[in-house]
């Protein structure tokens, strides 16, 4: 044991002190960075009893990170669905405002009721025509809303896929740096932090599972097992410009060659958007088409002659395929966007209002479909029949989620509004809960891995003290040398 050794130990202490202080200052600087983890200098006592910094480690609890990633993707998945349902719920609106297709059918019925009480009055027939037009316009615009929501979802998926690709590119670079850095024994903690932050970004887009190897390498899998990243990023293809055919799922998203059609299991924002594009909007669209078909059937005209031979024909409400009725029991795709009020009943388009009362809208040239042969002004039979038709039982396609056994198109439209609000209510509660979970998981990771300012400050004070002690040691050794040298002199 020599004084030189004591001197060297003190010098080493100063050096490790400085290294530790730099780690503390890095921590302090990153206190507000949610992605940063707390770094600690690893101090090692060497053979001579001195101390040096062997490396820097960060505190990442892998399980907490995994939990946080999972809950992030669940939260963004349900948030995406809830957001879109919020948009779609404009179709129904607040029941008090009475803007849903069901409420408009109700207003149409009230207009018919008014007309039935004074069938001679063309003003009341005009009222029927206007409320019928309001009804078709509302169905047209609801159909347009579902189509545009689909289109927006398609575009957003394209953007999100682009984001995913660039995130994976950045991930790939960082991963390589970490693997080489770890092999060379460099401090890679900052790169690890950045890689974790990229992981969070990826988990926001799709539900992922990670696997870390001993050399610092990381592989990413989708929750359904498809490889997303393994040494290099896997190919992701999506055609954002592909045509969206009404009633059919849009173009497929392929990851590593595997088509991802199940948005629910894909998870994340992209999964949520796939659910929106290929399930929710299609379902709502089919329901609107069924409401449109129900209206056409409910207001159809039948052969009134003594021995009826003609088929029922589309009356007040018609569509480009009229006057034949759309096939029963299956969804007529696109009907809600093409349903219109028959021009034969609209004086502005060359029709006659009286046909609403008298019948013969489907084909004014065919007397078989006229209900009120003498055009008697007080005849309310057909108007009453129209009112009853709105709530008369009729079959609806079994492929839609809404089913009504009786009550006709009015009950179907009401049930459809209930379905939409039910979905919205569930998804909004779900998204709220998932967001809380994600906040909690992120918070748990944060509080475990993040920087505590007070802790770092007290560490700084300890460092200050040990720095003072080391310098005192150096000056003590120095004065000992002085004493020794003056004794020798």
Partner 1 sequence: MTFATISSLAMWDAARTSMSRTQSQLASTSQEVSSGRHYDVGIALGTETARAINARLVIEDIDAIVAMNGVAGERLSTMQSSISAMREVANNLFTEATQAAQSDADRQHFVESARSMLATLTTLLSATSNGTYVLSGVNNLSAPVSDYLAEPPSAARSAVIAAFTSEFGIAPDDPAVSNITAAGIRTYWSGAYSALFEDPNWQSVFSSASDNPTELRIGPQEHAAYSVSANDAGVRKLYSALVAVVDAGAGEMNSDTFAALAGLVADTAGSAAADLVRSEASLGAAQSRIANANSRMQVNRSILEKVVGDLESVDQAEASTRLNNLTTQLQVSYAVTARMFSLSLLDYL
- Please report how close the Cβ of residue 425 comes to partner 1 at its closest, in angstroms: 4
For position 443 contacting partner 1 by CB under 8 A, the verdict is: yes
Give how many residues touch partner 1 by CB under 8 A. 66
Binder among 66, 279, 421, 430 for partner 1 (CB under 8 A): 421
For position 280 contacting partner 1 by CB under 8 A, the verdict is: no
* CA distance linking residue 387 with residue 397, whole number of Å: 23
Spatial CB neighbours of 47, under 8 Å, sequence gap ≥ 6: none
For position 446 contacting partner 1 by CB under 8 A, the verdict is: yes
Q: Which stretch binds partner 1 (CB under 8 A): 262-270, 316-324, 410-418, 471-479?
A: 410-418
For position 393 contacting partner 1 by CB under 8 A, the verdict is: no
- Please report how close the Cβ of residue 470 comes to partner 1 at its closest, in angstroms: 20
Q: Which stretch binds partner 1 (CB under 8 A): 29-37, 46-54, 227-235, 324-332?
A: 29-37
* CA distance linking residue 230 with residue 217, whole number of Å: 9
* CA distance linking residue 209 with residue 426, whole number of Å: 27
156-185 residues in contact with partner 1 (CB under 8 A) are none
* CA distance linking residue 296 with residue 110, whole number of Å: 18
For position 430 contacting partner 1 by CB under 8 A, the verdict is: no
Rank residues 27 and 342 by Cβ distance to partner 1 and give the closer one: 27
Indicate if the alpha-carbon torsion angle 249, 254, 255, 259 is positive or negative: positive
For position 485 contacting partner 1 by CB under 8 A, the verdict is: no
Binder among 196, 313, 362, 414 for partner 1 (CB under 8 A): 414
For position 306 contacting partner 1 by CB under 8 A, the verdict is: no
Rank residues 369 and 379 by Cβ distance to partner 1 and give the closer one: 379
Rank residues 225 and 454 by Cβ distance to partner 1 and give the closer one: 454
34-73 residues in contact with partner 1 (CB under 8 A) are 34, 38
Q: Are 44 and 52 in contact (CB under 8 A)?
A: yes
Rank residues 34 and 162 by Cβ distance to partner 1 and give the closer one: 34
79-138 residues in contact with partner 1 (CB under 8 A) are 89, 92, 94-96, 98, 100, 102-103, 105-107, 109-110, 113-114, 116-118, 120-121
Give the residue among 208, 260, 214, 269 at the shortest CA–CA distance from 238.
Answer: 260
Q: How many CB atoms lie within 10 A of CB 170?
A: 17
- Please report how close the Cβ of residue 251 comes to partner 1 at its closest, in angstroms: 32
What 8-state DSSP symbol labels residue 91?
G
* CA distance linking residue 65 with residue 179, whole number of Å: 20
Three-state DSSP state, 186: coil
Q: Are 394 and 312 in contact (CB under 8 A)?
A: no
For position 451 contacting partner 1 by CB under 8 A, the verdict is: yes
452-471 residues in contact with partner 1 (CB under 8 A) are 452-455, 457-458, 461
Indicate if the alpha-carbon torsion angle 47, 52, 55, 59 is positive or negative: positive
Q: Which stretch binds partner 1 (CB under 8 A): 64-72, 130-138, 284-292, 413-421?
A: 413-421
Which tokens go with 451?
A: 């920087």
Rank residues 183 and 462 by Cβ distance to partner 1 and give the closer one: 462
For position 31 contacting partner 1 by CB under 8 A, the verdict is: yes
For position 405 contacting partner 1 by CB under 8 A, the verdict is: no
Q: Which stretch binds partner 1 (CB under 8 A): 25-33, 272-280, 341-349, 359-367?
A: 25-33
DSSP assignment of 360-379, as one string?
--S-TT-GGGBSSTT--TT-
DSSP assignment of 4-71, as one string?
HHHHHHHHHHHHHHHHHHHHHHHHHHTTT-TT---EEEEEEE-TTS-EEEEEEEE---HHHHHHHHHH
* CA distance linking residue 434 with residue 419, whole number of Å: 22
Helix intervals (H) in 217-280: 263-266, 268-275
* Largest Cα span, the chain: 144
Indicate if the alpha-carbon torsion angle 28, 32, 33, 38 is positive or negative: positive
Rank residues 347 and 381 by Cβ distance to partner 1 and give the closer one: 381
For position 141 contacting partner 1 by CB under 8 A, the verdict is: no
Three-state DSSP state, 134: helix
For position 380 contacting partner 1 by CB under 8 A, the verdict is: yes
Question: Applying CB under 8 A, which residues contact partner 1?
Answer: 31-34, 38, 89, 92, 94-96, 98, 100, 102-103, 105-107, 109-110, 113-114, 116-118, 120-121, 374, 376-381, 384, 387-388, 410-411, 414-415, 417-422, 424-426, 428-429, 439, 443, 446-455, 457-458, 461
């Amino acid at each position: 044991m020599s004084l030189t050794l004591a001197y060297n130990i003190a010098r080493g202490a100063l050096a490790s002190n400085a290294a530790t202080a730099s780690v503390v200052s890095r921590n302090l600087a990153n206190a507000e960075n949610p992605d940063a983890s707390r770094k600690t200098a690893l101090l090692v006592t060497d053979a001579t009893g001195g101390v040096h910094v062997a490396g820097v480690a960060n505190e990442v609890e892998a399980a907490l990170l995994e939990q946080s990633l999972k809950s992030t993707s669940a939260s963004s998945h349900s948030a995406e669905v809830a957001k879109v349902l919020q948009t779609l719920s404009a179709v129904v609106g607040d029941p008090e405002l009475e803007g849903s297709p069901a409420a408009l059918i109700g207003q149409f019925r009230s207009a018919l009721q008014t007309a039935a009480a004074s069938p001679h009055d063309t003003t009341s027939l005009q009222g029927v025509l206007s409320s019928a037009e309001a009804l078709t316009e509302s169905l047209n615009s609801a159909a347009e809303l579902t189509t545009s929501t689909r289109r927006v979802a398609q575009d957003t998926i394209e953007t999100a896929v682009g984001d995913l690709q660039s995130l994976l590119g950045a991930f790939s670079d960082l991963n390589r740096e970490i693997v080489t850095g770890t092999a060379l024994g460099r401090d890679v903690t900052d790169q690890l932090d950045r890689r974790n932050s990229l992981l969070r970004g990826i988990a926001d887009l799709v539900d992922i599972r990670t696997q870390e190897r001993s050399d610092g390498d990381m592989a990413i899998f989708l929750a359904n097992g498809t490889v997303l990243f393994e040494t290099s990023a896997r190919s992701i293809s999506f055609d954002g410009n592909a045509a969206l055919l009404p009633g059919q799922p849009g173009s497929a998203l392929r990851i590593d060659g595997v088509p991802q059609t199940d948005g629910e299991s894909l998870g994340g924002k992209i999964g949520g958007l796939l659910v929106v594009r290929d399930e929710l909007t299609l379902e709502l669209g089919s329901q609107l088409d069924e409401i449109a078909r129900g209206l056409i059937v409910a207001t159809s005209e039948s052969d009134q002659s003594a021995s009826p031979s003609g088929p029922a024909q589309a009356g007040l409400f018609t569509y480009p395929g009229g006057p034949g009725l759309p096939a029963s029991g299956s969804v007529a795709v696109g009907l809600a966007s093409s349903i219109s009020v028959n021009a034969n009943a609209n004086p502005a388009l060359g029709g006659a209002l009286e046909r609403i009362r008298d019948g013969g809208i489907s084909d004014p040239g065919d007397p078989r479909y006229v209900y009120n042969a003498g055009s008697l002004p007080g005849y309310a039979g057909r108007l009453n029949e129209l009112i009853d038709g709105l709530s008369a039982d009729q079959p609806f396609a079994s492929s839609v989620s809404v089913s009504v056994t009786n009550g006709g198109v009015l009950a179907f439209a009401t049930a459809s509004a209930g379905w939409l609000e039910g979905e919205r209510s569930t998804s909004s509660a779900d998204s709220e809960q998932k967001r809380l979970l994600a906040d909690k998981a992120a918070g748990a990771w944060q509080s475990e891995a993040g920087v505590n300012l007070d802790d770092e400050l007290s560490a700084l004070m300890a460092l200050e003290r040990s720095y003072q002690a080391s310098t005192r040691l150096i000056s003590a050794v120095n004065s000992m040398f002085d004493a020794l040298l003056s004794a020798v002199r």
